Amino acid sequence: MIEPLWVIIPAAGVGQRMQANCPKQYLSLEGQTILDRTIDIFISHPLIAGVLVGVGENDAYWPDSKWRQHDLVHSFIGGEERSDTVQKGLHYLLDTLNPQQQDVLVHDAARPLLSQEALNRIINHHSEQGALLAMPAKDTIKRQVIDSLSVDETLDRDAIWLAQTPQKFPAQALLSALKKAQVQGVVVTDECSAMEYVGWHPDLVVGESSNIKITLPEDLLIAEALFSYLSGSNLLN
Ligand SMILES: Nc1ccn([C@@H]2O[C@H](COP(=O)(O)OP(=O)(O)OP(=O)(O)O)[C@@H](O)[C@H]2O)c(=O)n1
Ligand SMILES: C[C@](O)(CO)[C@H](O)COP(=O)(O)O
C-alpha cells in the first residue's frame, strides 16, 4: 500500500529570466495563475496528504490565491535559492506537520501542465533510491569547448535525460543531502542532484514533453497552446 505523500511546491523564485512585472508563477495561464493551476494538479489526488507552498518573503500575490485557505494547503517562507526553499519545506513538514512522513514529492510551481497520468507514474513507482520524471534527449547534443563557442564533442544521446519534476525522495534523506551539499558549497538545481552528491542513483521515470517549466517569455505562449490542446483533449485529468 502506498503511503499518502506530501508535495512541496517551491514558488519563491522571482522569475528573472521571464522578465515579467511580477514573479512568473503569478502570471495568468488561461484565467488562473500558474501557481494556482499547479496546486490544482495535486489537491484532489487521493494519495496526496497535503501541499506545502514555499513563497517569497514579500510575496504580495499569494494572499489572493484561491488555495490559500484550503485545509490541505500550507504556506511557508522560501529561501534564497530553490534548494533553500525545499529545505525549509522539509523542515516544516518534519518538525511540525508529520515527523513520521517517509516519502515526499517536490514539484516546481512553474510546471503547471503535469498530467494526472504522469503524476501517478511517479507516485506509483517504487524505488529504494528515489525517482524523478525525466525525458530522454531527442536532439543531437554538443558539449562546447570551455570559454569558446565551438564544439568540443557530441555526447552519447542515449545516456542523456532532461530532468523534470515531480521528484520523489525519502524526506529525511533528502533534507540531509541538501544540507550536506549546502555545507560543502555544492550547487544543486534539483533534488536528484543533492541525492547524487551523497551517492544515490535515483530511478528515471519517463515524464512527458508537455510538462514544461515556464522559464522564458516564449514558454508562456507554448504553455498556453499546450494547455488549450491538453484540456480540450481531456489529457490533463
Ligand atoms: N529561491 C527560490 C528560487 C526558485 N524557486 C522556485 O523553483 C522553481 C524552479 O525555478 P526557476 O524556474 O529557476 O524559477 P525562478 O528562480 O523564479 O526563475 P529565474 O531563475 O529565471 O529567476 C520555481 O517554481 C521557483 O519559484 C524557489 O522556490 N525559491
Ligand atoms: C528542478 C528543475 O525543474 C529540473 O528541470 C530545474 O532544475 C529547476 O530550475 P533551473 O532552471 O534548473 O534553475
- List, as own/partner pairs, every contact residues 89-97 make where C-beta atoms lie below 8 angstroms and the sequence separation is at least 24, other chains included: 89/8, 89/10, 89/52, 89/54, 90/8, 90/171, 90/174, 90/175, 90/178, 91/175, 92/52, 93/6, 93/8, 93/52, 93/171, 94/171, 94/172, 94/175, 97/6, 97/50, 97/52
Quote the ligand 1 centre to 40 CA distance (angstroms). Answer: 19
Predicted pLDDT at 2: 84
Q: Which protein residue has the closest C-alpha to ligand 2 atom 8?
A: 189
Find all residues with CB under 8 Å of 168, minimum gap 6, and list them: 5, 103, 104, 105, 106, 122, 123, 125, 127, 130, 131, 132
pLDDT of 234 above 90: no
The predicted complex's ipTM stands at 0.98
Mean pLDDT of 131-160: 97
Q: How far apart are CA 33 and CA 173, in angstroms?
A: 32
For residue 182, give the C-alpha cell: 549546502
Quote the ligand 2 centre to 165 CA distance (angstroms). Answer: 8
24, 162, 213: residue to mutate for ligand 2 pocket, most atoms within 8 A of CB: 213
Identify which ligand lies nearest to the alpha carbon of 88. Answer: 1
86, 132, 165, 169: residue to mutate for ligand 2 pocket, most atoms within 8 A of CB: 165
Longest dimension (CA), the chain: 54
Interval 188-213: pLDDT, tens: 999 999 999 999 999 999 999 999 99
Predicted pLDDT at 123: 98
Q: How far apart are CA 156 and CA 12, in angstroms?
A: 35
User: What ranges in 61-146 are assigned the alpha helix state H?
Assistant: 82-91, 116-124
Quote the ligand 2 centre to 14 CA distance (angstroms). Answer: 14
Identify which ligand lies nearest to the alpha carbon of 14. Answer: 1
For residue 28, give the C-alpha cell: 495568468
Interval 161-187: pLDDT, tens: 999 999 999 999 999 999 999 999 999
Strand spans (E) along 120-217: 131-136, 142-144, 151-154, 161-170, 203-206
82, 108, 113: residue to mutate for ligand 1 pocket, most atoms within 8 A of CB: 82
What kind of architecture, by CATH, is found in domain 5-232?
Alpha-Beta Complex (3.90)
- SS3 of residue 81 by DSSP: coil
pLDDT above 70 covers a percentage of the chain that reads 100
Q: How far apart are CA 8 and CA 75, in angstroms?
A: 10
Rounded (10°) angle between helices 34-43 and 116-124: 50
